Amino acid sequence: MSAELAYAGAAELARRVRAREVSAVELTDAFLARIDAHDGALGAYLAVDHEGARNRALIVDAMIAAGQDPGPLAGVPVGVKDVIVTEGLVTTAASRILDGWVPPYDATAVARLRAAGAIVLGKLNCDEFAMGSSNERSGYRPCQNPWDLGRVPGGSSGGSAAAVAAGLAAATLGTDTGGSIRQPAAFCGVVGLKPTYGRVSRWGAIAFASSLDQIGPLAGSVEDCALLLEVIAGADPRDATSIDQPAPSLRPALTAGVAGLKVGLPREYFEGALDPEVAAAVRAAGDALVTAGAELREVTLPHTRFALPAYYVVAPAEAASNLARYDGVRFGHRGGGRELAEMYATTRAEGFGPEVKRRIMIGTYALRAGHYEAYYRKAQQVRALIKRDFDQAFEEVDVLLTPTTPTAAFARGEKAAPLDMYLADVFTLACNLAGIPGLAVPVGATASGLPIGAQLLGRALDEVTLVRAGAELERAFGTRRPPAYEGAA
């Protein structure tokens, strides 16, 4: 498969399939062959569904031959993060404790992708139970950054970002609890959209921190992220936290421009240990928006400095509760007799990885008698203050422009200390605590060629403005592809 086709994007590939310029089967086979040829070194996929993907593609082609419309994602090959359940396809949350578990149903977001004509190629690597910022904490194998195999792709949705960057999927689904879509998108030079909390059903997403988790798309362009969000968004009676709002119409905003848009630069996001190259790239992004007609203003979010400690009380506390069900009995390998007994013993022995254990212990400590008021309740009070900061800022501006990450992608093993790793998400955590949408868009590169991403933050349910501003940045800075994968067959 040519690199041009691998990077054509979801919207364009769907157009070509509907126009019968390429069949869904041909497209699916080409992407599967590309995965087989190139994912060995990358590690983006944990499972590839050759048979299931091809069978779905046959259905799409049959619909088109019969004059039926398969949907807005007709024949588009996509990947799904391994914390989102898929009917008949193994789902492990990248954890040995779920080894071999095959869900009997699709997550709502996956079901909506399939109904729109998308072809699920397989399950994408991630940090175990979505707990990590580098994809080094997978229970199976680490994922690498397509720009430099010695660097991390970010996390926890590292496989989702790497697969798009390497042309191993036209688009992917990830989850974002504290930046796990936006941070890897920035590290891998792709676009990542974390929707408003409740905009997309969480039914079928293996829970990490239920009040923070959100499913969202990663893709090679703002247009493709907008298209996927239009497909997967909307109320779901099976998810009590989903918002009773129709799916947004986002693609008209792609050409709306930013004339008259008020863009805020939060002072606190440009202080501290921010790499100068990242700071310069984000400020250049601000200048590009001004050139296109936007107005730039400095704003303040004074409680930003408390986002990291608040998050690392709230998220582990919710994780300790959510992960209590994984005891090696109710999920995982299906067998019987001696085989089941042996597998049970092995699963319990391997159990959770060290990062998952660490967060469970932190959360259990925070929730124990005598600690709840001092830690968890206090963190929730800080969370309310962070949300109030955003509400006040959005009285002055329409959208916020910030760095996504303090640095470009770091080397494998560089942040072995937990706190060093947690600081990689320092600019993304507040968005989840406040429940607002965020969009990561590539805006340049370091002197060594590593991608740099800017982050746009918007009012709740105002993904339209993020798409407006993101599309303008995309026009200003264009797109780049990893050299190692640009000409790959």
The answer to whether 236 and 106 are in contact (CB under 8 A) is: no
CB 165 within 8 A of CB 190: yes
Residue 356 near residue 95, CB atoms below 8 Å: yes
Alpha carbons 201 and 190: distance in angstroms, whole number: 23
Span 98-143, pLDDT tens digits: 999 999 999 999 999 999 999 999 999 999 999 999 999 999 999 9
Asked if 101 and 121 count as a contact pair (C-beta separation under 8 A), the reply is: no
At 1 the pLDDT is: 65
35 contacts 121 by C-beta, under 8 angstroms: yes
Give the separation between CA 227 and CA 250, rounded to whole angstroms.
Answer: 7
Task: Return the structure tokens found at 299.
Answer: 């704003």
- The label of the residue with tokens 């997978």 reads 138
The full set of domains in the chain, from first to last, is 3-310+380-486 (3.90.1300.10)
Q: What is the per-residue pLDDT for 153?
A: 98
Residues 345-364, mean pLDDT to the nearest whole number = 81
Strand-pairing partners, residue 89, are 86
pLDDT at 6: 95
Return the pLDDT at 419.
Answer: 87
pLDDT value, residue 82 = 98
Contacts of 82 (CB under 8 A, 6+ apart): 46, 47, 91, 92, 93, 94, 123, 124, 125, 126, 159
Which pLDDT tens digit goes with each residue over 181-239?
999 999 999 999 999 999 999 999 999 999 999 999 999 999 999 999 999 999 999 99
177 pLDDT more than 50: yes
- Tokens encoding 34: 């590309």
Phi and psi angles of residue 26, each rounded to the nearest 5 degrees, phi first: -60, -45
Residue 311: DSSP 8-state: H
Mean pLDDT across the stretch 83-112?
97
Q: Is the pLDDT of residue 255 over 70?
A: yes
Band of residue 334 on the pLDDT scale cut at 50, 70, 90: very low
Q: How confident is the model at residue 351 (pLDDT cuts 50, 70, 90)?
A: confident
Can you give the pLDDT at residue 350?
Answer: 63
In the chain, DSSP finds a helix count (H) and a strand count (E) of 17, 11
pLDDT for position 344: 46
Q: Is residue 489's pLDDT more than 60?
A: no
Q: The tokens 């940045």 sit on which residue? A: 473
What's the chain's length in residues? 489
Residue 339's pLDDT band (cuts 50, 70, 90): low
Assigned token pair, 391: 């509400």
Residues 361 and 137 sit within 8 Å (Cβ to Cβ): no
State the catalytic residues. Answer: 81, 156, 180
Distance of alpha carbon 72 from alpha carbon 230, whole angstroms:
10
Please, which residues bridge with residue 458 across strands?
Answer: 399
The Cα-based distances of 231 to 65, 115, 473 in angstroms read: 23, 9, 23
Q: Which of 412, 452, 450, 488 is nearest to 135 (CA)?
A: 412
The helix, strand and coil proportions of the chain, stated in percent and rounded to the nearest 5, come to 45, 15, 40
Name the token pair of 347.
Answer: 């699963």
Residue 369: which pLDDT band, with cuts at 50, 70 and 90? confident
DSSP class of residue 156 equals S
Cα end-to-end span (Å), the chain: 5
Name 102's Cβ contacts closer than 8 Å, sequence gap at least 6: 88, 89, 90, 91, 334
Q: How does pLDDT run across 277-301, given as a tens digit for each residue? A: 999 999 999 999 999 999 999 999 9
Residue 394 has pLDDT above 90, yes or no: yes
The model's confidence at residue 450, banded by pLDDT at 50, 70 and 90, is very high
Rounded Cα distance, 74 and 18, in Å: 7
